[in-house]
Structure 1
Amino acid sequence: MIRVYLAEDQSMLNSALTQIIELEDDLTVIGSAKDGQVACDEVMRLKPDVAVLDIEMPKRTGLDIADKIHQAQIETKVIILTTFAQKAYFERAVAASVSGYLLKDSPSDQLISAIREVVQGLTRFDPELVVNMVSAAHNPLTAREQSVLVESVTGGTTHEISERLHLSDGTVRNYLSAIFSKLGVRGRLEAIQIAKENKWI
């Protein structure tokens, strides 16, 4: 029996995915959460075979949890679910050694297949995501600069961004300055617009 943990902050989708997974004879959902911190704590405690993680959740993102699993070197395989075909997210997921990266509007049978495949040591990345990443123009931004810019999309002060990324205020300011210089812009809004148009974030 493949033990699955599900983290998805939308209640209806959380319930629907749980029911779909539970319909399979060889899969069982051992826990679920709508909060990233709760999900992280429970995944580290329960050590499921597969953690299916929403990329955007309160308190901790799916990528934060994937990073934690990777650093802790536990055997849990990670599948990221996202509505965002963003290069920065994808690159961070690869760096965290996730086994799957699927769009939320993918057919449910693709998720079921992906769960079985990652347990066998295979990887499953949505073809649309891969095409977008390969076709994107050359990205002058480093992975960390992309992360800072992604956090800037949701707004907030430099201090708030630094807290979310566990960096100092000065470091975030330096990253933003480097981003503006590389993209030839004066502020965050212009930088975000250019990065989105080129699928760098």
Structure 2
Amino acid sequence: MSTSIVIADDHPLMLRGLSDFLSSKGYSILGKAEDGQSAYNLIIKHKPDIAILDIRMPYLTGLEVAEQCQKHKLDTRVILITFDNEEALFDKAKEFNVYGYILKEFAIEEIEICIDHVTKKEKYFSEEIASYLNSKIKYSNAHIKELLTKTELKIVKQLSKNKSNQEIANTLQSSIRTIEKHRSNIVKKLKLQKSHNALMLWANLNKDLF
């Protein structure tokens, strides 16, 4: 029997794209909604295996729907899709027993892997945020200055402003290869995953440290 799913997103194109993609893969789409309250009503009505919800929606957010599901002990497992990489949202997602958390730019690439995990009652989070969720290491300002060299600190500061390797190389009057080498060293020192965006995400989450 195929996995039953309810999908909610207030962006019609995203909603249709995800629905069409999952239908083509053989999943059973029981309902679609463009706001959180409608999504919650569909969950109550159809009791799907999985609900794939946008975090930011009218009436109820994806997190609020997840909270209601947890509060009323519903069996539906929630997967959140979002553009947000805010620390507080990750913590809320874990608090409300969310099973999956995917960044929207990777939704189509990762959704099947995520559903496969969630169907087996295994939690799945986008690689870009997994390093934060799985090893939530809190650094102090002093610790970071001790851990990273002055050049590495400059690079992390530039990354927190979403600068590319080329822009950082220009600013620091260095080569791209040197910047890449520094980035690799920083990832090792911070014990981050080696995914492309992990360091930039970490820099954005920890702007107050440098």
Q: Normalized against structure 1, the TM-score is what?
A: 0.66
Distance in 1 separating the partners of 2:45 and 2:139: 41
Map 1:33-112 onto structure 2 (within 5 A): 33-106=33-106, 108-112=108-112
Structure 2 alignment gaps of length 5 or more: 141-203
| Contact 2:81 2:107 (8 Å CA) reproduced | no
Deviates more, 1:108-117 or 1:71-80: 108-117
| Contact 2:86 2:205 (8 Å CA) reproduced | no
Q: Cα distance, 1:137 vs. partner? A: 4.6
Distance in 2 separating the partners of 1:99 and 1:68: 14
Distance 1:197 1:111, change over 3 A: closer
Distance in 2 separating the partners of 1:12 and 1:22: 15
Map 1:158-173 onto structure 2 (within 5 A): none
Is 1:3–2:15 an aligned residue pair? no
CA RMSD after TM alignment: 1.9
Tell me which amino acid in the other structure corresponds to 1:56.
R
Bigger radius of gyration among the two: 2
Structure 1 alignment gaps of length 5 or more: 139-195
Map 1:131-170 onto structure 2 (within 5 A): 131-132=131-132, 134=136, 137=139
| Contact 1:3 1:30 (8 Å CA) reproduced | yes
| Contact 1:85 1:132 (8 Å CA) reproduced | no
Deviates more, 1:106-115 or 1:6-15: 106-115
Q: Cα distance, 1:81 vs. partner? A: 0.4
Distance in 1 separating the partners of 2:8 and 2:137: 30
The equivalent residue for 2:24 is 23
Map 1:121-132 onto structure 2 (within 5 A): 121-132=121-132
3-state SS of the aligned residue for 1:94?
Answer: helix
Q: Cα distance, 1:116 vs. partner? A: 2.0
| Contact 1:36 1:61 (8 Å CA) reproduced | yes
3-state SS of the aligned residue for 2:112?
Answer: helix
Q: Normalized against structure 2, the TM-score is what?
A: 0.63
Q: Cα distance, 1:131 vs. partner? A: 2.8
Deviates more, 1:124-133 or 1:95-104: 124-133
Distance in 1 separating the partners of 2:64 and 2:207: 21
User: How many matched pairs?
Assistant: 142
| Contact 1:136 1:199 (8 Å CA) reproduced | no
